[in-house]
Amino acid sequence: MIAEACDAMAFYIKIEKYEETEFFAKYKFWSVDGNFGELEINKQSGEVRLLMQISGDQQRHLFNRAAAKVIREWRQGRLPDMTEWAS
Cβ-count burial 42-69 (b if 16+ within 10 Å, e if not): eeeeeebebeeebebbeeebbbebbbeb
Structure confidence at residue 3 (pLDDT): 42
* pTM of the model as a whole: 0.86
Structure confidence at residue 11 (pLDDT): 85
Averaged pLDDT for residues 3-19: 76
* Residue 84 and residue 69 in contact, taking contact as beta carbons nearer than 8 Å: yes
Structure confidence at residue 9 (pLDDT): 65
Domain count, the chain: 1
Higher per-residue pLDDT: 44 or 87: 44
Domain that holds residue 74: 2-86
Give the rounded percent of residues in the chain with a pLDDT score beyond 70.
90
49 pLDDT more than 50: yes
Structure confidence at residue 32 (pLDDT): 87
